[in-house]
Amino acid sequence: MVNFKILGTSAGTGVPSFFCDCIGCLEARENPHYARTRTGAFLDTGNVRVLIDAPPDIRTQLVRESIYGVDTIFITHWHADHYSGLGEFEYYVKLYIKKPLFLYLPASAVEEFYYTFPDLSDIFQVITWEYHKEYVFGNISLTPLPAHHGIETAGFLVKSNGTRLAYFPDTSGLPKETAQKLQGIDYLICDATFYGDNWYPHSHMSVKQAVALGRAISARNTILTHLSIHYSQPVTTAKLEEELSKDLDVMVAYDGMSIELKGAEA
């Protein structure tokens, strides 16, 4: 059984933020179920364990979900809330697997990686991912597709036994070619950073825009992630879920949410 787990569901600030007492952060302080760590995901094929992004909360996320190993890491783009947890794998490599861990980066981030982590060059085997190239792990495939996010950024199309899932945590809509590839997708997990006005329309989406994107590509299920809760209009998760409850094909992601990719047998 192939499992896609959403490890973290927050934008860069986390929920609650240590500096914030908005209604969303207060809700999360009072009820840990509503707390959100920074965005990342984990794909377990049964044979290969693939991490998508390494946020600063990665150690906490892996421990929380009882994940004991990672074989390959894909980084969607070179923003700190998606790569700054890479250092957590130093001792996993040195003390446990004792061989470099595969790390797939956008081509534009390779030099930045070595500049940011000069002591980790022997920890990772750095490979540049390519848009539209299908990376096959047993009976599943992972394909980087272009996203709109200001810098070189990918979302990932995951295919497993006839089931298709798209993971686009940071994007402002979708390029036309990407949208065409995702028509009729089973699961669209996408950026819904803002509730209210979209402060960064060239980089992110609002909740309304994310829901509209799901409709536009005829997604069977749209799952909202990378939620800021704070900006531009603070909102509680309880209120957001209530407002979306009439849309049976729309869900608000939560930390640890799992999707079993069953599908028809190949």
Confidence of residue 154 (pLDDT cuts 50, 70, 90): very high
> Is position 165 within any domain?
yes
**Number of structural domains found in the chain:** 1
Residue 138: the pLDDT is: 86
Task: Pull the structure tokens for residue 54.
Answer: 């390494």
Task: Pull the structure tokens for residue 68.
Answer: 């004991």
> Is position 266 within any domain?
no
Mean pLDDT across the chain: 95
> Is position 29 within any domain?
yes
User: CATH number for the domain including 178?
Assistant: 3.60.15.10
* Cα–Cα distance measured from residue 28 to residue 34, given in angstroms and rounded to the nearest whole number: 5
Owning domain of residue 219: 2-259
Per residue in 220-261, pLDDT tens?
999 999 999 888 899 999 999 999 999 899 999 999 999 999
184: left (phi over 0), alpha (psi -120 to 50) or beta: left
Residue 166: its H or E element? strand 163-168
> Is position 246 within any domain?
yes
> Is position 79 within any domain?
yes
Instruction: Answer whether residue 176 shows pLDDT above 80.
Output: yes
Residue 232: the pLDDT is: 83
Residue 43, Cβ density class (10 Å: 0-12 exposed, 13-18 middle, ≥19 buried):
buried
* Cα–Cα distance measured from residue 210 to residue 43, given in angstroms and rounded to the nearest whole number: 23
Instruction: Answer whether residue 264 shows pLDDT above 50.
Output: no
Starting at the edge strand found earlier in the chain, the sheet holding 124-128 runs 124-128, 101-105, 72-74, 49-52, 40-44, 2-8, 257-261
Residue 100: the pLDDT is: 97
> Is position 65 within any domain?
yes
Q: What is the pTM of this model?
A: 0.96
